Chains A and B, each alone.
Chain A
Amino acid sequence: MGEMEQMKKEAETLKTQIEAARKAANDTDMASAASGVAPAPRVQLKTRKTLKGHLAKIYAMHWSTDNRLMVSASQDGKLLIWDSHSGNKVNAVPLKSSWVMTCAYAPSGNLVASGGLDNMCTVYNLKTPVIKTVKELDAHTGYLSCTRFLSDTEILTASGDTTCALWDLETGKQKTVFLNHVGDCMCLSLSPDMNSFVSGACDSLAKLWDIRDGQCKQTFQGHTSDINAISFFPSGNAIITGSDDCACKMYDLRADQEVICYQDAALNSGVTSLALSLSGRLIFAGYDDFNCNIWDSLKGEKVGVLSGHDNRVSCTGVPPDGMCVCTGSWDSFLKIWN
């Protein structure tokens, strides 16, 4: 038998082994296990603020760690920094390229980043008298779909070139490249302990990566189309994904498998974005059908809906203190709900 044939056979054996091990651990499903848990109350949130200012589709938003400021990105070619309490704009950052797909706020509040079809991640300092570009991170060969700061000196990026990367903001160079996806990377989420992150891609897989050694530790399958959104559960032991296949899924990292699927026969729009409430009990998922559906993460039931946008909900975010949820839309508005 040729070496190639042998390797293929070994790969098949390993895949079968993994499936068998997962099956052996699958002694129940989450919904049955949660039968004793009191149902989440019917969630009825009101729009407290509508943030008007962008002139075109909003593609991304991210909360600052101060629970008050947030950054949004629109294809009108601007990043806007908002004070969510007053609803006022506190800063505007004009972008060199208007084809922006992602934005991020550094935990310190000093920096913001954005990127998109320019294949670059641009980092801006908000604290200088005039907002300055501090770095243009240029090495990806595909669009920038998502970016998140670890600190003022390190940032993670996910790209349409199928890789993710960790960059040193002092040198502007990639420290680590995360290679394993075979489709465009669409989203990433940092673990609460900041030692790992997960990525979702157009190969319909979610992958868990060790930030320091660059290795893919686990791969999660089950979706049948692009994974557009991903988030860690606040305990760090599970992840939630949202896909063009119209479903969200929870994968438990220690059981190494899908444990619950959030879907509804009546829902046939793709999931564009998702965010979790502080306890992890509620999942806010934005869909192409202009709504944001609210799911009970433990029982798998829909417990509410946020209706009010006149176009696709493209981004959602809950601030660290969990006091509200923000939705951003192609209708050019952001809404704050609680």
Chain B
Amino acid sequence: MSSNSSLTTMKRTVEQLKLEASVERIKVSQAAADLQQYCLQNASKDALLVGVPAGSNPFREPRSCALL
């Protein structure tokens, strides 16, 4: 690798680092609170968390009722 292209690569690395350094960060406590809120607000719709009633489970064979 010529010294010119190493320099170009290094310049690109520095530019990328400058971009990533400029990100505005929020506190982890706030991030955690928002994630918790999302989970809790959507918990009741989460079938894998709350379960699926047997009768309305599309992956289970329906139990047939014979009306005589």
Interface residue A128 (Cβ < 8 Å from any Cβ of B): no
Within 8 A of A (CB), among B15-31: 16-21, 23, 25-31
Q: CA–CA, A298 to B38, complex, Å?
A: 11
Residue interface mask A1-30, B partner, CB < 8 A = 1: 001100110110011011001101111111
Choose from A216, A254, A278, A325 the contact partner of B25 (Cβ within 8 Å): A254
B52 — which chain A residues lie within 8 A by C-beta? Answer: 323, 338
Residue interface mask A215-247, B partner, CB < 8 A = 1: 111110000000000000111011000000000
Interface residue A136 (Cβ < 8 Å from any Cβ of B): no
Interface residue A336 (Cβ < 8 Å from any Cβ of B): yes
From A3, A33, A217, A237, name the one whose CB has the most chain B CB atoms within 10 angstroms.
Answer: A33
Chain B: interface residue total (CB-CB under 8 A): 42
Interface residue A302 (Cβ < 8 Å from any Cβ of B): no
Structural contact, A25 and B46, CB atoms closer than 8 A: no
Shortest Cβ distance from residue B9 to the other chain A in the assembled complex, whole angstroms: 10
Q: CA–CA, A124 to B3, complex, Å?
A: 46
Beyond A7-B10, A28-B27, A257-B25, 9 extra complex contacts between A and B, CB < 8 Å: A11-B14, A25-B25, A30-B28, A43-B48, A234-B42, A254-B30, A255-B25, A279-B42, A281-B43
Known contacts A25-B27, A254-B25, A318-B48: does B17 contact A11 (CB below 8 Å)?
Answer: yes
Structural contact, B28 and A255, CB atoms closer than 8 A: yes
Choose from B11, B28, B30, B58 the contact partner of A29 (Cβ within 8 Å): B28
Q: CA–CA, A233 to B17, complex, Å?
A: 25
From B6, B20, B42, name the one whose CB has the most chain A CB atoms within 10 angstroms.
Answer: B20
Structural contact, B19 and A217, CB atoms closer than 8 A: yes
Q: CA–CA, A24 to B25, complex, Å?
A: 9
Choose from B32, B38, B47, B49 the contact partner of A259 (Cβ within 8 Å): B32
Structural contact, B36 and A279, CB atoms closer than 8 A: no
Interface residue A180 (Cβ < 8 Å from any Cβ of B): yes
A34 — which chain B residues lie within 8 A by C-beta? Answer: 32, 36
Choose from A24, A30, A48, A282 the contact partner of B48 (Cβ within 8 Å): A282
B3 — which chain A residues lie within 8 A by C-beta? Answer: 4
Query: Is the contact region of chain A dominated by helix, strand, or loop, or is it mixed?
Result: loop
Q: CA–CA, A49 to B36, complex, Å?
A: 32
Q: CA–CA, A280 to B42, complex, Å?
A: 8
From B17, B28, B40, B49, name the one whose CB has the most chain A CB atoms within 10 angstroms.
Answer: B28
Interface residue A252 (Cβ < 8 Å from any Cβ of B): yes
Known contacts A11-B13, A21-B21: does B42 contact A278 (CB below 8 Å)?
Answer: yes
B45 — which chain A residues lie within 8 A by C-beta? Answer: 278-279, 322
Shortest Cβ distance from residue B14 to the other chain A in the assembled complex, whole angstroms: 5
Choose from B28, B35, B39 the contact partner of A28 (Cβ within 8 Å): B28
B47 — which chain A residues lie within 8 A by C-beta? Answer: 278, 321-324, 338
Interface residue A129 (Cβ < 8 Å from any Cβ of B): no
Q: CA–CA, A16 to B48, complex, Å?
A: 42
Shortest Cβ distance from residue B44 to the other chain A in the assembled complex, whole angstroms: 9
Known contacts A25-B25, A325-B48: does B43 contact A237 (CB below 8 Å)?
Answer: no
Structural contact, B28 and A10, CB atoms closer than 8 A: no
Which 5 A-B residue pairs are closest in the complex by CB-CB distance?
A: A279-B42, A33-B32, A48-B59, A14-B17, A279-B46
